[in-house]
Copies of this chain bind each other. A is one copy, B any other.
Amino acid sequence: MMKGIEMSISVSIVGGSGYSGGELLRLLIAHPYVTVKQVTSRSHVGEYVYQVHPNLRKRTQLKFVEPAQIEAVDVLFLALPHGQAQTRIGEYAALAGKIIDLSADFRLRDATLYERWYGEAHAAPEWLDKFVYGLPELHRAEIAAADYVSGVGCNATASNLALLPLVKADILDRSTPVIIEIKVGSSEAGAEGNLGSHHAERANVIRTFSAFGHRHTAEVIQEMGVQDVSLTMTAVDVVRGVLATVHGKVKPGTTAKDLWKAYRAAANDNLFIRVVKEQRGVYRAPEPKVLVGSNYADLGFELDESNGHVVSICAIDNLMKGAAGSAVQCLNLMMGWQETTALEFMGLHPL
């Protein structure tokens, strides 16, 4: 394949009945240079994809096929539950020259780190080095040159993008613990329900379900180089959305002006990053409500100059920038296409 030529390529999705897979399908169906060839699902074989993802009705006549029926394509997307891609990565690599895996299987470079956070040895540690961590805002050039790209954890993405301006401008005091408070919607937990996701139990919640030890912490440690970091997870009553509120300390002498400069630089360098810091109106700081369906990451901050306490805020749609959106953005980079292709949707107001 020649890069940059806007020819149509073929792609397939392994694991297309979940929420990340469905979102990927929505984006790829509308992608001008992509033809979706196959979508697999163990539990929905033979059903139209729109019977599971009702928004796709009248837009595609694709039906789910069995995983075993998957054929060779230009690019293969994997959207399987955690732990499955690593056991068959060799088979998938035989089907496609390029793979984008949305699961957690190939996000960490270090098999030891993986084992510490996932509680078991990695099944294909020799593959870890071959994958690039799939967040373009951190690894744009490497992704453009890669054949194998991982997905990103949605909570890790909100955390990493909140930290990005501080780390890049080197104004974060890394000797002070970084405390990250994350609020999430219900789609983050996936399409498989459990008792806690039953509407009558899950509606109206403010539920801190994990104070420490969330697995996405490993991606923050790896990508941001901060060691003393914790993610506290609280579920709230929305379907889509992640808000990360990051508490840290800036280096002595850092001013609000320095922060403005750092955040503006992040927005200038990245088409999907916006700075939201208004003095008036309803929408003064980043919030996921206005990002539903879009690939933007909105960043904001507040600084207490008296003690250097910085609060950095990042809002994303967990299924977009935190999963399928970043994956398509990686595809665009890998193919040499305009980075925003098929990711133009700008979110809705009101919602």
Residues on A facing B (Cβ under 8 Å) = 19, 22-23, 26, 29-30, 47, 51-59, 177, 179, 181, 183, 185-187, 189, 191, 193-209, 211-212, 228, 230, 232, 234, 236-241, 243, 245, 247, 267, 274, 276, 278, 280-294, 296, 298, 302, 304, 307, 309, 311, 313, 315, 344-351
Contact = CB atoms under 8 A, between A and B. Distances in A.
13 contacts: A22-B349, A26-B349, A47-B281, A51-B281, A55-B347, A186-B199, A189-B200, A198-B198, A199-B202, A208-B313, A230-B304, A240-B351, A292-B348
B199 A197 contact: yes
Contact of A55 (B194, B204, B294): B294
Given A236-B183, A237-B238, A290-B54, A197 B193 contact: yes
A203 B237 contact: yes
Taken together, the copies of this chain in the complex come to 4
B239 A200 contact: yes
A327 B313 CA distance: 36
Contacts of A199: 186, 193, 197-199, 202-203, 239
Given A199-B186, A204-B238, A241-B206, A349 B55 contact: yes
Contact of A196 (B189, B267, B282): B282
A287 B207 contact: yes
A186 B202 CA distance: 11
B212 A278 contact: no
Given A19-B200, A55-B290, A239-B350, 8 more contacts: A23-B349, A29-B346, A54-B349, A186-B198, A203-B238, A204-B239, A208-B286, A209-B284
Contact of A346 (B30, B183, B205, B212): B30
B191 A287 contact: no
Nearest to A210: B302
A314 to B, nearest CB: 11
Given A285-B207, A293-B293, A58 B198 contact: no
A322 B201 CA distance: 20
B240 A234 contact: no
Contacts of A55: 290-291, 294, 346-349
A26 B346 contact: yes
